[in-house]
Structure 1
């Protein structure tokens, strides 16, 4: 491949010869359901994912947290299987199964030996299409989710992460916590969650991705048979349209502190970033690597190695369909929180003004190349790449294509991204025993 391959919704079949001898195939069924597979030579296991393009940002005010709530409930039984039956099906073959809810999608996934793929497809299909949403299980799981939220609230890093997202995104739906709040989870009804289920879990919404020792034609037949067994509608439909990628208006920014009696301050600084569809996302990846990814990054070297002000310090980037964010994190002693915040912003400003050295650029590209190649040793990563390609990007890029794009990033590209970020409206979130005036003038 010399460039990403488009995945148009109206194209029923696509075949891509990918790097390393892998074969990627995609079939769009008449119902609008999409099936993607990546056959990996020499693999003896498979990872399968059932993706639904609905996340926390898609909820109505009365159902905040319902996407994550529903994710829990789909493990609680169907007409044909109890919750215990679902657990036993995977435990009995040494498999793994789980789910995740994100801001723009939900994924139910499993990893099993290749011989157990029919079972995994059958069980996941049953869960996704035929959940009972039992009233008693609903109330029991409400308690479980409240405990999960309480656990997250006890983690100051999680609290700082949610706080900085709210500050950066302002009133945008991306600023809401994925799991909802204690108040919304206590208030949401089974009927609300059931309506959410009926609205978003249809054949035209669903994407099935499998990576590893998989035969595509057999996979498509498995999916079709499992859907027929579950009695899901076979009515012809077009696939659900991908999200609009026009940039949203973001009106965030500010400084907010949550005072807690901790030994450290969990400090996060955020600002608007790039959209997932922005072709400069590769430039962002290189810039982020130089600034705050790894032990040779500028943040790690300046904050930890030279000054000894933090144990953990890094930067990150989050990209969504119509908005994105960039941020930096450090955990430090309360008395040094203001100093650390200014150092981190100073490093970003210095990168924006002076750019990157040739040595840093070469090292960052090598780091990305190695990490990308190592990640694809795992069928989980390949399965997730297929899902993101279909739902978010609308195109597939193999390792060779990605690395070629990384290799073309120039010093000017890195400096330009840093300058754009440095010029954006800044947000400072801190959790710990510190006053907001420690960050005066930073946002």
Structure 2
């Protein structure tokens, strides 16, 4: 019996080591707030997790690869994102049109996204069409052709995407802030790469990245909805048979280590002059990593500071003074680092006042902490947003994959809620005093030439 009543035991014909030549299956949880979660490690080291939810009539199916933009060298910047585009262009069995039309013909949808630490390919279909989704998605991830002509076509698409991103200052400021904190470290680079790195990238470079990085021990397959675990495992094994992912026995790759911690830059101010009607600013500092036990307290602190319409920053800057339409705080966490920041979008002439109020509020919370009422509200927001976010198969599928890929374990829903409930006022205030007293970096995108943002 696991924490909070979670069932953790082996099932089937095992035991056995993952790389021993036999699949190893465990029931991870029979969660009263969710479905039955099972995990199978195939002999190749590839992992399959499912959550059976009989009340649903749909299934979300995702293939998650532990490869993101931070795994690229400087000249490779953008390779993971480039590859994400190319895998939909055709395999030895299907062309690009067939990949999209087969899923759309049954009313399903497919998509993919690349982050700094992983890449995900997913489909959402009716439960009766899950075998088709598994076959198509496994085919495109395991056996893509990556034709030279497709590389050139998608290069143009990606360069347009980069140019479009440059026209969105509200997005650009987040990348500028990451660069202010991380500098030339891969976490400070654009996920898409730049025109300078994407333009010369060759088919050979991308294909080499594909074959060296997309290996079975680095892959987690997750599915949630009206499904049967054994059937999903069987269909995955059939779909991957005789592909490059049908490999010799291996052990699953461990989740990305948290040490050594990423070295961040000294606090800096970066300004990107841009003619725009609105100024976009982010003020923040290095935060905590993904496995830090204080992450639950950080979630509460974030909610109190800028996590909703009742938060301090929203009330002070928007509701009481009308200085900005959008203002919020957020925390980003990686295996070995993190960020905590406040974003605001406002008229250029109001930037100084917005920054002054933001700095003052952060200093106040660092010195005085939050109240018992704010603690209760922050904890309620954390629990509510988590549980309400599990009301569709896509979010449940993502939870399975991220638990396995990023944490090496799936925390049961009731245990997570218990961890949030256990956060004390002292936990939050101690973290606030330490975190919000750190030197702050500032990123600004807007119509500014010479302007002193340090006041």
Determine if the alignment matches structure 1 residue 439 to structure 2 residue 431: no
Determine if the alignment matches structure 1 residue 261 to structure 2 residue 263: no
What is the deviation of 1:250? Answer: 1.8
* In structure 2, C-alpha distance between the alignment counterparts of 1:97 and 1:77, rounded to whole Å: 14
Q: RMSD across aligned C-alpha pairs, in angstroms? A: 1.9
* In structure 2, C-alpha distance between the alignment counterparts of 1:353 and 1:92, rounded to whole Å: 59
Give secondary structure in 2 for the equivalent of 1:180: coil
Do 1:257 and 1:436's aligned partners in 2 also have CA atoms closer than 8 Å?
no
2:395 maps to: 381
Determine if the alignment matches structure 1 residue 77 to structure 2 residue 90: yes
Give secondary structure in 1 for the equivalent of 2:193: coil
* In structure 2, C-alpha distance between the alignment counterparts of 1:374 and 1:10, rounded to whole Å: 37
Pick from 50, 61, 74 the counterpart of residue 61 of structure 1.
74
Relative CO higher for 1 or 2, CA cutoff 8 Å, sep ≥ 6?
Answer: 1
2:337 maps to: 323
Once the two structures are overlaid, the 10-residue window that deviates more, 364-373 or 122-131, is 364-373
**Aligned ranges 1:120-159 → 2 under 5 Å:** 120-159=133-172
* In structure 1, C-alpha distance between the alignment counterparts of 2:264 and 2:58, rounded to whole Å: 43
Determine if the alignment matches structure 1 residue 370 to structure 2 residue 384: yes
Give secondary structure in 2 for the equivalent of 1:311: strand
Q: Is the alpha carbon distance of 1:163 and 1:171 closer, same or farther for their aligned partners in structure 2, counting shifts above 3 Å?
A: same
Determine if the alignment matches structure 1 residue 13 to structure 2 residue 25: yes
Count of aligned pairs: 441
- Residue by residue, what CA displacement relative to the aligned partner does 1:331-357 show, whole Å, maximum 9, x if unpaired? 111122122112112212211211111
Determine if the alignment matches structure 1 residue 356 to structure 2 residue 358: no
- Residue by residue, what CA displacement relative to the aligned partner does 1:268-293 show, whole Å, maximum 9, x if unpaired? 11210110011111111110000001
* In structure 2, C-alpha distance between the alignment counterparts of 1:227 and 1:333, rounded to whole Å: 54
What is the deviation of 1:420? Answer: 2.1
- Residue by residue, what CA displacement relative to the aligned partner does 1:194-218 show, whole Å, maximum 9, x if unpaired? 1100101122221100011121111
Question: Can you give the 5+ residue segments of structure 2 that lack an aligned partner in the other structure?
Answer: 11-15, 19-23
Q: Is the alpha carbon distance of 1:33 and 1:19 closer, same or farther for their aligned partners in structure 2, counting shifts above 3 Å?
A: same
* In structure 2, C-alpha distance between the alignment counterparts of 1:333 and 1:4, rounded to whole Å: 51
Determine if the alignment matches structure 1 residue 241 to structure 2 residue 243: no
Question: Can you give the 5+ residue segments of structure 1 that lack an aligned partner in the other structure?
Answer: none
**Aligned ranges 1:156-167 → 2 under 5 Å:** 156-167=169-180
Determine if the alignment matches structure 1 residue 286 to structure 2 residue 288: no
2:188 maps to: 175
Q: Is the alpha carbon distance of 1:336 and 1:187 closer, same or farther for their aligned partners in structure 2, counting shifts above 3 Å?
A: same
* In structure 2, C-alpha distance between the alignment counterparts of 1:136 and 1:66, rounded to whole Å: 17
Q: Is the alpha carbon distance of 1:435 and 1:412 closer, same or farther for their aligned partners in structure 2, counting shifts above 3 Å?
A: farther
1:413 maps to: 427
* In structure 1, C-alpha distance between the alignment counterparts of 2:294 and 2:30, rounded to whole Å: 25
**Structure-2-length-normalised TM-score:** 0.93
Once the two structures are overlaid, the 10-residue window that deviates more, 191-200 or 165-174, is 165-174
* In structure 2, C-alpha distance between the alignment counterparts of 1:394 and 1:208, rounded to whole Å: 14
* In structure 2, C-alpha distance between the alignment counterparts of 1:360 and 1:337, rounded to whole Å: 27
Once the two structures are overlaid, the 10-residue window that deviates more, 239-248 or 120-129, is 239-248
Pick from 396, 399, 404 the counterpart of residue 410 of structure 2.
396
Determine if the alignment matches structure 1 residue 336 to structure 2 residue 350: yes
* In structure 1, C-alpha distance between the alignment counterparts of 2:6 and 2:72, rounded to whole Å: 32
Q: Is the alpha carbon distance of 1:6 and 1:256 closer, same or farther for their aligned partners in structure 2, counting shifts above 3 Å?
A: farther
Do 2:403 and 2:409's aligned partners in 1 also have CA atoms closer than 8 Å?
yes
Do 2:306 and 2:314's aligned partners in 1 also have CA atoms closer than 8 Å?
yes
* In structure 2, C-alpha distance between the alignment counterparts of 1:249 and 1:7, rounded to whole Å: 40
Give secondary structure in 1 for the equivalent of 2:89: coil
* In structure 2, C-alpha distance between the alignment counterparts of 1:313 and 1:7, rounded to whole Å: 46
Q: Is the alpha carbon distance of 1:5 and 1:300 closer, same or farther for their aligned partners in structure 2, counting shifts above 3 Å?
A: farther
Q: Is the alpha carbon distance of 1:259 and 1:107 closer, same or farther for their aligned partners in structure 2, counting shifts above 3 Å?
A: same
- Residue by residue, what CA displacement relative to the aligned partner does 1:225-267 show, whole Å, maximum 9, x if unpaired? 1111546433111112221112222224201111111111101
Do 1:6 and 1:395's aligned partners in 2 also have CA atoms closer than 8 Å?
no
Do 2:6 and 2:31's aligned partners in 1 also have CA atoms closer than 8 Å?
no
2:13 maps to: none
**Structure-1-length-normalised TM-score:** 0.96
Determine if the alignment matches structure 1 residue 270 to structure 2 residue 284: yes
What is the deviation of 1:324? Answer: 0.6
What is the deviation of 1:308? Answer: 0.9
What is the deviation of 1:112? Answer: 0.5
1:112 maps to: 125
Do 1:276 and 1:321's aligned partners in 2 also have CA atoms closer than 8 Å?
yes
